[in-house]
Amino acid sequence: MARLLVPMSMLSLLSIGAIFGSFYAWVCSTMWGLDATDPRASITAMQAMNASVRNPVFFPSFFLTPVILMLTEFIAIRQERTRSAALFATGAVVYFIGAFLVTVLINVPMNEALATVAVPTDRADAAWIWKDYSALWQVWNTARTLVSGLALILIGLAIHSLKPETT
């Protein structure tokens, strides 16, 4: 088990970094781009993106990150690396509550509701639907991005804590 801690730590960093990056991309480009285009196209594009996100590339970073973090915490405990273990566990809990559950309980239901919307032919009607959806969705996406960023920092600190102290 001793040889697993470093590779699992790197896998932990990779998985939380991947999901943070995914959420971050929505914050800094995707939603701004959709907000800047014809709302009818925005609704159609978002419906397509939401339908395509359930895929084998997204699955590991979203669903397996808390599992990977907790496994890494378990290995760190077994090696009596209590500070690192506590940071891995805290990162897992922070991600699970502040990003995973927010996604499952808020963003996904919003996406599912948007999926049932027939895209209006009238631009003004589409603008109202898009504005209502986008504004709230972005608030929650920003929250899960910040939380995932915090979890990423915690995992970085956990890895840093693995270094032997030098005097």
In a domain, 86, yes or no: yes
Number of domains in the chain: 1
* Whether the Cβ atoms of residue 19 and residue 65 lie closer than 8 Å to each other: yes
Look up the domain containing 68 and give its range: 2-162
pLDDT in tens, 90-125: 999 999 999 999 999 999 999 999 999 999 999 999
pLDDT in tens, 27-69: 999 999 999 999 999 999 999 999 999 899 999 999 999 999 9
Q: Which residue has the tokens 């590991």?
A: 60
In a domain, 167, yes or no: no
pTM, to two decimals:
0.92
Q: Is the dihedral of CA 105, 111, 115, 120 positive or negative?
A: positive
In a domain, 140, yes or no: yes
CB atoms near residue 109 (< 10 Å): 11
CA distance 142 to 97: 14
In a domain, 121, yes or no: yes
